[in-house]
Structures are given as structure tokens and as C-alpha cells.
């Protein structure tokens, strides 16, 4: 009887054991079929136990993600951050420069003399020069974005402000800066040309607006340049807008960056070369006693090209008004040789000197 009981007990125990094993196997099978949810970073970061192919996939994805993030940051910086910083920098100075615009107008026809300090500086430059003594002027062209301080470095570092703002901090926009050879206080008898440089930024800032001045409608909207130095407010009438090369392989180089001239003949021959190159014949006369400013910026028709705007100072007692209806497109524009090689045609024939052109009656801008 006892043996029969033990035998039955053993059988029951075996059946229970078989049931437990089946349950464990079923659980293990279920565990294999249910996917394990891993942390999101495990999909991007190579991990111990990953196959070689998986490691390569994750590595490529990580590199692509880094490139995307860096590119996105650079794009935002290029299109948003840097332009905003450049605008803020300029606007900070504008608030100072224009804070008393009524008493410091640059108009040459105003009967009220501009306010000056004991040293002869215009009052509106006093605070600016406390910020940076290299601020030597202000240039503005109505109906354009051009409205900037003019900086000037020394002849030892003439392009110091090419990539720096008035705080001397790096910026791709740089500053509008005066040729280091120029002295705004020097008598006009010996120095008759002040040269201003500025970048032509693709977003339209700095001197980019100059690129369009060969178009008649643009010129007519803005025939005047306002350029005040620290001691001398003045307006300037545009007399020429031209394109020029800076490398000899594109044609003979015209030295438009002259600041001093030997005599009146040397000066008038320079003006003659400036005007026969102009895309627009402006209705502004000229005489040897006139002083000019030259605005130069990079142009992109050819490597190293420049767009140049030249303007002469409004004379004492002369009206600032320009009869732009009299302006005409120049039918005989003298371009560099590379222009004709690319666009066809040939260079027009002009006498080689101002005196010869005048004798032949080709000069209609000579002041009587």
C-alpha cells in the first residue's frame, strides 16, 4: 500500500515538473518574440555587441548629423547673426551721429554754420572720436543703404579696417575706410582726391549699392553723395560711374587711385580718363579747382574687377540740385580689354589727352 502511494506521488511530482518546464520554455519563447525597446541614443551611438555593419551605419549617421548641425549653425550665423550684429554696430553710431541733426546738417547751402568744438571738429564727431579716434568722416547716399562712418588707419596698416568694425573687432563686413594716404585736413590744392573703400556684400550692405549706379534710374534717384569729414561737411555731385580692372592680363590698368597731382593739366587729364570710362554722362561740369571723392568697391564681372563712383564737391554758393533729366547713357564707354573679349565689340577711339579732346570739341563738361 505504501509503495503504491509513493509511486503515485512520484508521478504527480514529475507531471508538475514537466508543467513548470513548459511554462519556462513558453516564457522564454515569448521573450524572444517581443522586441526590447532601447534608449534612442542606442540607434545613433555604436555600442558593445553591435555588428560591424551596424557600427559603420551608426558612424556614418553621426558624421552626417554633425555636418548638418555645423552647416545649419554657419548658415544661421551667415544669414541672421552676423548681419544683425553689423546693423547693431552701425545703428549704435548712427544714434550718436544723428542725435542733433538740425544743428549739424551737412548741407552746403545752409546759412547756419555747423557747430564745432575748440579744435575745429564738428560737434557730431566729438563723441564718435572718443569711441575711436580713427573715425574720420561719415558717408551717406540718399535712397540707398549707404549710411556709414568712415574709418582710417595708418600707412603702416592701410587695410586695417578691411575686416574690422569701429570697435576693431573682426567682421566680414569690415568698415568703409579712407585711403591711408589721404589727409582730410590737407589743402585741396595738393590733394584733390579722397578715396573711400568698402565691401560689396551679397546681402546688399556696405558699398554693394554702388554696383547698380550704372543704371540710369538708380543714378537719377541718387545723384548726390554726402561725405562729411571731422571738420568739413560737404555734398558731392556724381560725375562718373565706371568699371575697371586691377590685373594687367585684363587690359591696361587705369590708375584711378591717385590722390595727388602734379598740376592742373595732370588733374584734368585724370578727370578726362574718369569721364570717358563712365557708363553715364552726368550733367555736371568740372574745373581744375574742384575737389573729388572716389568710392571704390569689388565688382564681379571679372576677377579683381572694381566698380567706381567719382563725385565732385558742391562749390560754395552752388545749388545741390542736379538736372538728372539731362543725363545720358554713354554710347562710347571705354571698358577694359577683357570686357570686349567676353561681350564682343571693340573699344571706342578717344584722343589720348584731355587737351586733344578739348581741341576737337569732344569735351562738354568743361566749366566755362
Q: What are 238's strand-pairing partners?
A: 311
Q: From the candidates 61, 182, 298, 338, which is the catalytic residue?
A: 298
For residue 117, pLDDT beyond 70 = yes
Which range has highest mean pLDDT (38-47, 62-71, 100-109)?
A: 62-71
pLDDT at residue 43, as a whole number: 65
Q: What does residue 187 show for φ and ψ, rounded to 5 degrees?
A: -55, 140
pLDDT > 70: what percent of the chain?
78
Per-residue burial over 307-329, b = 16 or more CB atoms within 10 Å of its CB, e = otherwise: bbbbbbbbeeeeeeebebeebee
Model pTM score: 0.79
Cα 201 to chain centroid, rounded: 3
Measured CA to CA, the distance from residue 218 to residue 309 in angstroms comes to 13
Residue 350 predicted with pLDDT over 60: yes
Predicted pLDDT of residue 29 = 45
66 classed as catalytic: no
Q: Are 196 and 176 in contact (CB under 8 A)?
A: yes
pLDDT of residue 83 exceeding 70: no
Q: Is the pLDDT of residue 296 over 50?
A: yes
Q: What is the pLDDT of residue 81?
A: 64
The per-residue pLDDT for range 141-200, each reduced to its tens digit, is 999 999 999 999 999 999 999 999 999 999 999 999 999 999 987 655 567 999 999 999
Mean pLDDT taken over the chain? 85
Render pLDDT for 225-274 as a digit per residue (tens, 0 to 9): 999 999 999 999 999 999 999 999 999 999 999 999 999 999 999 999 99
**Beta-strand relationship, 306-313 and 176-178:** unpaired
Cα–Cα dist 142/222, whole Å: 6
Calpha distance 214→278 (Å, rounded): 8
| Pairwise CA distance, residues 124 & 148, whole Å | 14
Amino acid at each position: 500500500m505504501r509503495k503504491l502511494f509513493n509511486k503515485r506521488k512520484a508521478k504527480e511530482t514529475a507531471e508538475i515538473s514537466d508543467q513548470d518546464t513548459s511554462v519556462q520554455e513558453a516564457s522564454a519563447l515569448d521573450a524572444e518574440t517581443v522586441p526590447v525597446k532601447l534608449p534612442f541614443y542606442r540607434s545613433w551611438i555604436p555600442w558593445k555587441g553591435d555588428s560591424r555593419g551596424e557600427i559603420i551605419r551608426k558612424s556614418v549617421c553621426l558624421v552626417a548629423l554633425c555636418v548638418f548641425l555645423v552647416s545649419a549653425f554657419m548658415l544661421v550665423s551667415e544669414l541672421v547673426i552676423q548681419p544683425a550684429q553689423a546693423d547693431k554696430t552701425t545703428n549704435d553710431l548712427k544714434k550718436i551721429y544723428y542725435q542733433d541733426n538740425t544743428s549739424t546738417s551737412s548741407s552746403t547751402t545752409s546759412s547756419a554754420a555747423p557747430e564745432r568744438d575748440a579744435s575745429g571738429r564738428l560737434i557730431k564727431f566729438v563723441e564718435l572720436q572718443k569711441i575711436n579716434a580713427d573715425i574720420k568722416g561719415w558717408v551717406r547716399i540718399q535712397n540707398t543703404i549707404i549710411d556709414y562712418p568712415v574709418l582710417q588707419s595708418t600707412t603702416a596698416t592701410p587695410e586695417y579696417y578691411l575686416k574690422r568694425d569701429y570697435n576693431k573687432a573682426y567682421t566680414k563686413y569690415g568698415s568703409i575706410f579712407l585711403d591711408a594716404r589721404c589727409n582730410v585736413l590737407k589743402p585741396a590744392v595738393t590733394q584733390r582726391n579722397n578715396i573711400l573703400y568698402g565691401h560689396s556684400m551679397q546681402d546688399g550692405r556696405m558699398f554693394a549699392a554702388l554696383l547698380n549706379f550704372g543704371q540710369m534710374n538708380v543714378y537719377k534717384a541718387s545723384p548726390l553723395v554726402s561725405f562729411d569729414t571731422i571738420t568739413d561737411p560737404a555734398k558731392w555731385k556724381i560725375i562718373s560711374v565706371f568699371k575697371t580692372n586691377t590685373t594687367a592680363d585684363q587690359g591696361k590698368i587705369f590708375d584711378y587711385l591717385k590722390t595727388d597731382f602734379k598740376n592742373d593739366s595732370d588733374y584734368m587729364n585724370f578727370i578726362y580718363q574718369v569721364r570717358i570710362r563712365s557708363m553715364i554722362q552726368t550733367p555736371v561740369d568740372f574745373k581744375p579747382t574742384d575737389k573729388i571723392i572716389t568710392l571704390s568697391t569689388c565688382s564681379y564681372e571679372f576677377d579683381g574687377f572694381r566698380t567706381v563712383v567719382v563725385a565732385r564737391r558742391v562749390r560754395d554758393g552752388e545749388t545741390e540740385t542736379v538736372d538728372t533729366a539731362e543725363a545720358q547713357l554713354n554710347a562710347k564707354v571705354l571698358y577694359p580689354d577683357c570686357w570686349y573679349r567676353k561681350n564682343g565689340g571693340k573699344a571706342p577711339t578717344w584722343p589720348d589727352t584731355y587737351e586733344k579732346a578739348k581741341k576737337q570739341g569732344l569735351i562738354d563738361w568743361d566749366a566755362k
